[in-house]
Copies of this chain bind each other. A is one copy, B any other.
Amino acid sequence: MHISELETPAVAVDVDVLERNLASMAEYAGRHGLQLRPHTKTHKIEAIAQMQRRHGSQGLTVAKSEEAEVMAHAGCADILVAYPVYGQAKWQRLARLARERRITVAVDSITPAEGLAAEAVRAGSTIGLLVELDVGMRRCGVPGPEAALALAQRITGLPGVEMRGLLYYPGHIWDRPEAQATALASVEAQLAAVLDALRRAGIPAPIVSGGSTPTARNSHRVRGTTEIRPGTYVFNDRNTLGVGACAAEDIAVRVLATVVSTAVPGRAIVDAGSKTLTTDRWISGNDQGFGSVDGYPGIKITGLSEEHGHLDVSQSAAPPRVGERVAIVPNHVCPCVNLHSRLFFHSKGEVLGSWEVDARGRIH
């Protein structure tokens, strides 16, 4: 079956591009001696996690304790939860998993560390902890050496957990690529100060986990970093393209849609709205539009209702007709995939099969 025969809306993944993206990131990490620990939030699919492992990833990253369960089920033996998990059921889930898998969790306060420690003791397991450091994103993470050291020291005193190092997320950098060099140097200096404080206190920090798709290929410029956690690179999207973190031919995913109405002059409506694409914005671009339409550079997706994509076709000499199919690059592929139960994968347009989005809805 050709992808043009899939019922719309549908998410189609070009496996050749996907494989190339996986290989390319693995090559980058290998060349610079960085461990590769992809964030599976982008795909949430066991089969792709397994492909990532075949492409040299040493472990995986998740955001949720239930996602950790899914990736453990996929056979992953080494899982990082890059999230300050709070809640007894979640701590129990991770403590149970830690009996047979290497589980590491990032924390920025003592409370979840104590919760994880208590449950690990109860389960007879050991959970690794990373201290999250805020390097400028202002989301999570302790602010500097003093706070990092204080938290690391308290962690070291807890049973059931093991201090394994630092985690940072340079998610603030990609918005300003022109300032990237300065920003990366600042991250490096912040890491060095914290690592120095830990070293003086005799606290080991063998792991320094960083990266993200937009900055991934600059991770070697942040000395001290031992592993990277890119997520979006598997598929890429309009935002990663906009920030220059991929080329157009590296975008592996398209949302296939059908034009259902052209009754309003200057408009074409497709069957992909906010429940198919998400209302995430084009934050790496001019903030206009909810995706780009292949082959129609003059057409803008100006608005989304829940099931309607509003295309402005007023500037198009030959706009699509009712029944015509279009292929859309979403602004942000991660929450878009999260809206779909199943992705179809193809090679050169020939559908080879589909994957269930295994961890979709595993929100805890």
Query: A-side interface residues toward B, CB under 8 Å?
Result: 7-9, 41, 63-64, 83-87, 89-90, 108-109, 111-112, 132, 134, 138-143, 147, 171, 258-265, 267, 269, 271, 274-276, 278-281, 305-308, 310, 322-323, 334-335, 338-341, 361, 363-364
Contacts and interface: CB of A to CB of B under 8 A. Distances in A.
* Oligomer: number of copies: 2
A278 B278 contact: yes
B274 A140 contact: no
A174 to B, nearest CB: 13
A332 to B, nearest CB: 8
B307 A264 contact: no
Contacts of A9: 363-364
A115 to B, nearest CB: 9
Nearest to A9: B363
Given A111-B322, A278-B279, A279-B281, A7 B87 contact: yes
Nearest to A262: B109
A294 to B, nearest CB: 19
Given A86-B322, A258-B86, A263 B306 contact: no
10 contacts: A8-B87, A8-B364, A41-B307, A108-B261, A109-B322, A111-B322, A139-B264, A274-B335, A338-B339, A339-B339
Given A9-B363, A9-B364, A112-B260, 11 more contacts: A7-B90, A8-B87, A8-B364, A83-B271, A84-B322, A86-B258, A86-B271, A139-B264, A275-B335, A278-B279, A340-B361
A269 B107 CA distance: 13
A269 B63 CA distance: 14
A266 B278 CA distance: 29
B143 A108 contact: no
Nearest to A303: B139
Specify which of A262, A276, A322, A363 lies most central, judged by the most chain B CB atoms within 10 Å of its CB.
Answer: A363
A263 B147 contact: yes
A334 B307 CA distance: 11
A341 B322 contact: no
B363 A140 contact: no
A263 B267 CA distance: 47
A171 B304 CA distance: 13
Given A7-B90, A264-B141, A275 B305 contact: no
A363 B337 CA distance: 13
Nearest to A142: B263
A260 B7 CA distance: 40
A171 B310 CA distance: 14
A139 B340 contact: no
